């Protein structure tokens, strides 16, 4: 099982890589996330790397794998993945016989180009954040903030894989149709209500054959890992286009991922119970299992930081906008998303991406979007230096951070994902 602890999670385990042993390090030896990299400025093929401290280990050169195809690695069985994790952990541990040879295979993360961590063929964005769904629903449908199906079926839409980028991305403010309430016809122009959405990305490992659903009991075996996901949204374009078929151009212009996939195995110490409150509908049988109820949720702290161009020019650091937790935010677990996505026979493939949807908490300081923070743009937030924001402006850099902390376990992080808004071409 991917949620079983073993020697790789031992809090006493230390690495011969000094930076991996520092307090609050995102990538201690208990983490070992996967990504793809190449030397800065090179046209080399991407290689599979493992983050350890502030370094990246070139995996194929260790001899533990014979491929630099991340999707092929992701397609391995859970047992094979656990064996690989154990071997990497043993080789990076203090006293390892591999230290001399593997030292030459380390590269500073600051000296390499990090890419989208795998080939993403398909992308589905879900809507699991019930507090976000409720808050947004109240803005537009005060009498019925949640649609009748919300608490019964995981809601999602098919996103655009071609516009997914990696942390450090610059993207242009999107253009599209909008319609003012008092206008007789829509107009085309740059979005004036550009927003972010704080999400997790779940990446599929092994796929399934067309026509063969994945049961809730087997769903965890098909999940490879988790990354941070920044889902950009043009709220004004979205409001005009989303009925009756849902988001389209308001979402497809950019999505930004962290370069690192934290494996389900690494997250084993940070699992949580999945529960529904009194009076809430319980999941239908195909979305319910004893294992999912016992440990289907993930306990991840999530933060949003903003640095404007004026702050950057003045040498001021980014300011934290919100901090929340995925356990309280998500109405559905990752395993339930897999089971529901395939109940109709849909075939998943290694590297397919699921967005969690905006993970907002119940409190204002846990909101996962500016739409919520500013009450639909009616209440601007105050920033250092006197700046105000209702939605994102050109030059703004938005950063998401995630980490797991729990007594009896070493803190691990998901790294961060940042992107900057550039002006529209018009």
CATH of the domain at 278: 3.90.850.10
Residues 280 and 360 reside in one and the same domain: yes
pTM above 0.85, yes or no: yes
Residue 195 has what pLDDT?
A: 98
Looking at the structure, tell me whether residues 46 and 184 fall in a common domain. no
Helix (H/G/I), strand (E/B), else coil: 145: coil
3-class DSSP state of 31: coil
> Is 2 part of any domain?
no
Distance in angstroms (rounded) separating the CA atoms of residues 46 and 66: 14
Q: Do 130 and 104 reside in the same domain of the chain?
A: no
**Is 268 found in the same domain as 212?**
yes
Q: Are residues 197 and 80 in the same domain?
A: no
Cα-based distances in Å from 64 to 99, 101, 200, 248: 14, 13, 29, 42
Compute CA distances 296 → 42, 151, 272, 337, whole Å. Answer: 41, 17, 6, 11
What is residue 1's predicted lDDT score, i.e. its pLDDT? 52
Among 85, 114, 143, the domain-final residue is 114
CATH number at residue 34: 2.30.30.230
Q: Is residue 210 part of a domain?
A: yes
- Do 83 and 211 lie in one domain? The reply is no
The whole-number pLDDT of residue 406 equals 96
Answer for the pair 34, 60: CB distance below 8 angstroms, yes or no.
no
Using CB atoms within 10 A of its CB, is residue 165 exposed (0-12), middle (13-18) or buried (19+)?
middle
Query: How would you label 272-293 residue by residue, b for 16+ Cβ within 10 Å and e otherwise?
Result: bebeeeeeeeebeeebebeebb
The answer to whether residues 243 and 283 belong to one domain is yes
Based on the domain organization, do 98 and 129 belong to the same domain?
A: no
Same domain, 379 and 291: yes
Residue 329: the pLDDT is 95
In a domain, 1, yes or no: no
Q: By residue range, what is the domain housing residue 93?
A: 7-114
pLDDT score recorded for residue 4: 86
Number of domains the chain contains:
2
Q: What is the dihedral of CA 363, 365, 367, 370, to 10 degrees?
A: 140
On whether residue 40 sits in a domain, the answer given is yes
Give dist(CA 37, CA 115) in Å, integer: 6
Among candidates 300, 370, 295, which has minimal Cα distance to 328? Answer: 300
Residues 293 and 182 in one domain: yes
For residues 243 and 382, the answer to whether their CB atoms sit within 8 Å is no
Q: Compute the distance between CA of residue 300 and CA of residue 257 in angstroms, rounded to an integer.
A: 16
Q: Are residues 379 and 265 in the same domain?
A: yes
Q: Are residues 76 and 202 in the same domain?
A: no
Residue 349 lies in a domain: yes
CA distance 26 to 253: 30
Domain boundary among 68, 94, 114: 114
**Is 215 inside any structural domain?**
yes
* Tens-digit pLDDT string for the chain (426 aa): 567 899 999 999 999 999 999 999 999 999 999 999 999 989 999 999 999 999 999 999 999 999 999 999 999 999 999 999 999 999 999 999 999 999 999 999 999 999 999 999 999 999 999 999 999 999 888 888 999 999 999 999 999 999 999 999 999 999 999 999 999 999 999 999 999 999 999 999 999 999 999 999 999 999 999 999 999 999 999 999 988 988 999 999 999 999 999 999 999 999 999 999 889 999 999 999 999 999 999 999 999 999 999 999 999 999 999 999 999 999 999 999 999 999 999 999 999 999 999 999 999 999 999 999 999 999 999 998 899 999 999 999 999 999 999 999 999 999 999 999 999 987
Q: Please give the C-alpha separations between residue 372 and each of 71, 197, 368, 378, 400, in angstroms, as whole numbers.
A: 36, 10, 7, 10, 17
SS3 364: helix
In a domain, 202, yes or no: yes
Where in the sequence numbering do the catalytic residues fall? 132
Give a yes or no: residue 264 inside a domain: yes
Of the three residues 91, 114, 137, the one that is the final residue of a domain is 114
Q: Which of 317, 311, 312, 283 is nearest to 297 (CA)?
A: 283
């Amino acid at each position: 099982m991917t949620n079983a602890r073993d020697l790789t999670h031992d809090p006493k385990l230390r690495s011969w890589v000094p930076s991996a042993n520092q307090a609050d390090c995102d990538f201690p030896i208990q983490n070992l996330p996967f990504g793809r990299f190449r030397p800065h400025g090179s046209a080399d093929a991407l290689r599979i790397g493992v983050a350890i401290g502030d370094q990246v280990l070139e995996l194929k050169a260790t001899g533990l794998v014979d491929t630099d195809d991340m999707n092929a690695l992701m397609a391995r069985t859970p047992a094979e993945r656990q064996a690989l994790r154990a071997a990497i952990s043993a080789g990076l541990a203090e006293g390892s016989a591999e230290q001399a040879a593997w030292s030459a295979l380390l590269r500073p993360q600051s000296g390499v180009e990090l890419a989208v961590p795998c080939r993403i063929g398909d992308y589905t964005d879900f809507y699991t954040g019930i507090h976000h769904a409720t808050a947004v629903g109240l803005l537009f449908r005060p009498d019925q903030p949640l649609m009748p199906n919300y608490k019964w079926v995981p809601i999602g839409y098919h996103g655009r894989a071609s516009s997914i980028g990696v942390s450090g991305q610059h993207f242009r403010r999107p253009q599209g149709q909008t319609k003012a309430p008092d206008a007789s016809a829509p107009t085309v122009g740059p979005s004036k209500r550009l927003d972010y959405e704080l999400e997790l990305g779940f990446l599929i490992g092994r796929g399934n054959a067309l026509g063969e659903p994945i049961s809730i009991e087997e769903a965890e075996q098909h999940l490879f890992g988790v990354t941070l996901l920044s889902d950009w949204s043009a709220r004004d374009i979205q409001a005009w286009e989303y009925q009756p078929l849902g988001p389209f151009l308001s979402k497809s212009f950019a999505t930004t991922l962290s370069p690192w996939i934290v494996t389900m195995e690494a997250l084993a110490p940070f699992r949580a119970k999945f529960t529904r409150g009194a009076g809430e509908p319980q999941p239908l049988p195909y979305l319910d299992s004893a294992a999912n109820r016992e440990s289907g949720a993930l306990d991840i702290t999530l933060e949003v930081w903003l640095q404007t161009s004026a702050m950057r020019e003045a040498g001021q650091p980014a300011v934290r906008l919100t901090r929340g937790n995925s356990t309280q935010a998500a109405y559905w677990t990752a395993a339930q998303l897999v089971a529901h996505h395939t109940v109709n026979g849909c075939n998943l493939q290694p590297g397919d991406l699921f967005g969690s949807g905006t993970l907002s908490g119940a409190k204002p300081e846990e909101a996962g979007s500016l739409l919520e923070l500013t009450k639909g743009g009616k209440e601007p937030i105050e920033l250092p230096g006197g700046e105000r924001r209702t939605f994102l402006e050109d030059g703004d850099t938005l950063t998401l951070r995630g980490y797991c902390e729990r007594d009896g376990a070493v803190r691990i992080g998901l790294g961060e994902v940042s992107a900057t808004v550039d002006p529209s071409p018009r």
